[in-house]
């Protein structure tokens, strides 16, 4: 057992959890490629495992990797990483077996409850109270998953499946926005670019509008939620102008993050339009812009940084990773086009989108294999203290 836990895979929590996130990203849409009636219920598997399987692994890997920087304490022990992976696998197995709710619920939510408990305990012990909202985020995800599995009726399950993508959008806004602003500001400073500034109220306003929109949807006030989602999307888009995102092309590792961020305002605007009957856009399509677009590309851009080689204080984007990002973005566009075609078109686009998505994540795993062994470069997600 000791020899197992001393393997390079367990030296950092992002290694097994990012790998599992990529693996699950490949497996989740595979249900759409199977003949009808074969295997698990495609819709149920797709919706649940994309959010709580793939998304849960990616969130856990990121938060556990960031934890030592928040608290100033030692890194997560290999045994702790092993426990978190085991709990995550238990949740996947419990859902795949279709266990009754009293048995499926503990198996599915244990990962999020333990993760949130560990993070909040460490953050509280270090007095890092500003990080507490992020530390508690897994508990919210666990609550949403509990509602999806054992909620009172199909309406509760549907509500949970709609709220989970928007909660991930909120996490991208909080975590991704702060990281992207910091990386962009640092790169501008070291490369002699004009100083990047943005008013302090702008990020908070975008987050607040999104929070109010989620609250309005929970209260079944779609007429209010729609404009709030659109406002939030516009505010998030405005940040890109202040970041001068068009200049990120000079640093491909940073460009991937900016392109991934672009999906967030687009997805929020689409979700806002979906609340208006006159727009002719269904919420399922809009939420795919959140899950496949914003979630998928941002997770790829961040997780891919852990595998990027470091060259002269910069991260280098490999060809497989760049192609993976392009395939996932193309797959998202194909899925969104399904709402605009008729007859046999949607089925064809669905298969193309699923195939492109799976191919993209397969390329990510191929590229990520180098990051699963050997010494862990520190910091994990940047080239150096200058990046």
Bond preceding residue 379 cis, omega within 30 of 0: yes
Total domain count for the chain? 2
Mean pLDDT within 185-197: 81
Average pLDDT in the 289-296 region?
95
Of the residues 150, 172, 205, which one is the last residue of a structural domain?
Answer: 150
pLDDT by residue (tens digit) across 344-355? 567 788 889 989
Q: Distance between CA 352 and CA 69 in Å, rounded?
A: 41
Distance CA 21, CA 9 (A): 15
Confidence of residue 14 (pLDDT cuts 50, 70, 90): very high
Domain final position from 83, 117, 150: 150
Listed residues 93, 126, 150: the one ending a domain: 150
CA dist 372 and 8 (Å) reads: 7
3-state secondary structure of 315: strand
Mean pLDDT across the chain: 88
Do 265 and 296 fall into the same domain?
Answer: yes
Question: For 191-215, what is the mean pLDDT?
Answer: 89
pLDDT digits (tens, 9 = 90+) for 370-384: 899 888 887 887 765
Higher pLDDT pick, 366 / 222: 366
Query: Which tens digit of pLDDT belongs to each residue from 304-329?
Result: 999 998 887 789 999 999 999 999 99
- Quote the domain boundaries for residue 300: 155-387
Q: What is the DSSP letter of 346?
A: H
Q: Among positive and negative, which fits the CA dihedral 296, 59, 48, 22?
A: positive
Q: Are residues 226 and 343 in the same domain?
A: yes
| Residue 300 sits in the same domain as residue 336 | yes
Neighbour count for residue 100 (Cβ, 10 Å): 8
**Residue 2: its pLDDT value, please?**
45
Specify whether 23 is located in the same domain as 159: no
Quick one: pLDDT at residue 367? 95
Range scoring the smallest mean pLDDT among 78-87, 288-297, 337-346: 337-346
Distance, in Å, from the CA atom of 369 to the CA atom of 378, rounded to the nearest integer, reads 18
Residues 226 and 101 in one domain: no
Q: Which residue has the tokens 């990046």?
A: 387
Lowest mean pLDDT among 45-49, 67-71, 169-173, 174-178: 45-49
List the structure tokens of 331: 């797959």
DSSP-assigned states of every residue in 30-98: GGGGSPTTSSS-HHHHHHHIIIIIIHHHHHHHHHHHHHHHHH-SPPPPHHHHHHHHHHHHHHHHHHHTT
pLDDT, average across residues 65-94: 90
Please give the pLDDT value at position 298.
97
DSSP H helices, 172-221, are: 177-190, 201-218
Instruction: Return the H-helix or E-strand segment holding 14.
Output: helix 14-27
pLDDT at res. 300: 97
Q: Name the residue among 149, 167, 165 with its Cα closest to residue 110.
A: 149
């Amino acid at each position: 057992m000791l020899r197992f836990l001393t393997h390079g895979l367990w030296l950092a929590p992002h290694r097994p959890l990012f790998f599992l996130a990529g693996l699950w990203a490949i497996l989740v849409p595979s249900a759409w490629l199977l003949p009808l009636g074969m295997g698990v219920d495609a819709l149920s598997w797709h919706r649940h495992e994309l959010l709580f399987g793939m998304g849960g692994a990616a969130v856990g890997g990121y938060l556990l990797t960031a934890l030592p920087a928040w608290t100033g304490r030692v890194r997560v022990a290999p045994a702790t990483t092993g426990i978190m992976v085991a709990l995550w696998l238990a949740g996947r197995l419990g859902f795949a077996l279709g266990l009754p709710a009293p048995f499926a619920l503990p198996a599915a939510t244990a990962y999020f409850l333990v993760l949130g408990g560990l993070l909040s305990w460490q953050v509280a012990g270090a007095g890092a109270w500003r990080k507490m909202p992020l530390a508690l985020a897994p508990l919210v995800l666990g609550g949403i998953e509990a509602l999806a599995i054992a909620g009172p009726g199909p309406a509760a399950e549907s509500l949970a499946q709609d709220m989970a993508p928007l909660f991930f959008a909120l996490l991208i806004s909080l975590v991704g926005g702060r990281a992207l602003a910091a990386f962009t500001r640092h790169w501008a400073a070291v490369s002699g670019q004009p100083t990047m500034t943005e008013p302090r109220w702008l990020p908070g306003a975008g987050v607040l509008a999104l929070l109010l929109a989620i609250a309005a949807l929970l209260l079944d006030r779609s007429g209010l939620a729609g404009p709030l989602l659109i406002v939030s999307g516009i505010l998030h888009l405005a940040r890109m102008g202040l970041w001068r995102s068009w200049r990120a092309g000079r640093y491909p590792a940073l460009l991937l993050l900016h392109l991934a961020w672009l999906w967030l305002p687009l997805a929020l605007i689409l979700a806002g339009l979906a609340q208006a009957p006159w727009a002719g856009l269904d919420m399922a399509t809009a939420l795919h812009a959140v899950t496949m677009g914003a979630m998928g590309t941002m997770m790829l851009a961040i997780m891919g940084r852990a595998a990027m080689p470091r060259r002269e204080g910069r991260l280098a984007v490999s060809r497989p990773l760049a192609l993976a990002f392009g395939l996932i973005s193309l797959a998202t566009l194909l899925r969104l086009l399904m709402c605009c075609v008729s007859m046999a078109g949607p089925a064809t686009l669905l298969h193309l989108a699923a195939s492109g998505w799976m191919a993209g994540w397969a390329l990510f795993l191929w590229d990520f294999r180098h990051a699963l062994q050997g010494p862990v470069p520190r910091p994990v997600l940047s080239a150096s203290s200058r990046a």
